[in-house]
Amino acid sequence: MVELEEQREPSPDRDGPDGDDEIVVEGSSVVHGELPEDDSGPPKVSSAVEVLHEKVTKQIIKEGHGQKPSKYSTCFLHYRAWTESTQHKFEDTWHDQQPLELILGKEKKEKTGLAIGISSMKSGERALLNVGWELGYGKEGNFSFPNVPPMADLVYEVELIGFDETKEGKARSDMTVEERIGAADRRKMDGNELFKEDKLLEAMQQYEMAIAYMGDDFMFQLFGKYRDMALAVKNPCHLNMAACLIKLKRYDEATVQCGIVLVEDENNVKALFRRGKARAELGQTLAAREDLMKARKLAPDDKAITKELRLLAEDDKAVYQKQKELYKGLFGPRPDPKPEPKNWLVWIWSWLLSLFGRLFNKERRKTD
């Protein structure tokens, strides 16, 4: 069942290098999404088995949308891969946070079965693929990375993030710097339009594809104006991903996206604001306050930051009151001190000694 929620997140939208290119998060109804579980083996799927090839079957985990990619489309995907017999996981792009780029019809031999599965999927679709060894790593297997034994049938949990319909099947590595940045920027703008339509999951797919164009290997080669151009596209995508993830209540992931931006720009107000908000939702009060205080120092007139700090203070006060009520009277009121019982024998003995003392003194004075 789809869960809907009305939620409003104020956002400092005029600070930082991303300017008007970054979306401003306002009230919207969203669908809560989930990342695939990272357990010891492939997920259990109950949907019908679709035979795509003699050696490839598919079961849909999550439905996608739109069209399917055609030959020579440049596809971006996340996947986990296991050997079927041993359930050994040998690849995980979700863990590495680096989507795979695959051009249908130009894939490596060991990815033939995976490509057949991808060609049957729509953007956003997640599926379980079973691939025979003949369309995987073959009779010899692979003894480097990844480590796959000989004649190993494979199981893939794969999600098609999206694809570019390019007739020539031009890979990122064959693009110029300007072409890669331009392709990423178009994806970012597509994501912004989807966000305005409250399609958060689809928007995130576009941002993730844009980020894929700006991979670490690519960014490492850039300097000067080209690096600035790339960051002007890449950082807003991470920040917009964080905004979507906060709306989806996936706060841990939101902090990661903000952290990536803060590595490049430690004084990015939006990154500090959104990470502070996500940390507050996770109950990380001290860290949240540190982020928000730094953001306010950089943007003292921003009302959204001030409001978030006020909410944090109110939450602290509410927690204190609850703790005070919880412990109030836990051990009961302090009892009044009770007088110690008197020992009458001791009291009489002391009285007699005092009496004898007075008599003795009286007799001594008479003698004197």
CA distance 62 to 157: 11
pTM for this model (two decimals): 0.64
CA distance 311 to 305: 10
Contact 30, 4 (CB under 8 A): yes
Backbone φ, ψ for residue 158 (5° rounding): -130, 145
* Candidate ranges 58-72, 265-279, 350-364; pick with highest mean pLDDT: 265-279
Annotated domain spans of the chain: 7-33+175-315, 50-164
Just give the CATH number of 7-33+175-315: 1.25.40.10
| Mean pLDDT for the chain overall | 82
Contact 26, 6 (CB under 8 A): no
Contact 232, 17 (CB under 8 A): yes
How much is the pLDDT for 159? Answer: 94
Q: How confident is the model at residue 322 (pLDDT cuts 50, 70, 90)?
A: low
Query: Comparing 7-33+175-315 with 50-164, is the CATH topology the same?
Result: no
Closest CA to 62 of 202, 213, 212, 266: 202
Q: Which residues, 6 or more positions from 133, have their beta carbon under 8 angstroms from its beta carbon?
A: 139, 150, 151, 152, 153, 154
- Topology adopted by domain 50-164: Chitinase A; domain 3 (3.10.50)
CA distance 200 to 243: 10
pLDDT in tens, 174-214: 888 898 899 899 989 999 999 999 899 889 988 988 988 88
Residue 319 has pLDDT above 70, yes or no: no
Contact 107, 119 (CB under 8 A): no
**What separation in angstroms does the CA of 202 have from each of 8, 181, 245?**
20, 21, 12
pLDDT in tens, 103-160: 999 899 999 999 999 999 998 899 999 999 999 999 999 988 899 999 999 999 999 9
Following DSSP, what letter does each residue of 135-181 receive, concatenated?
GTTTTT-BSSSS-B-TT--EEEEEEEEEEE--TT---GGGS-HHHHH
Closest CA to 264 of 238, 297, 296: 238
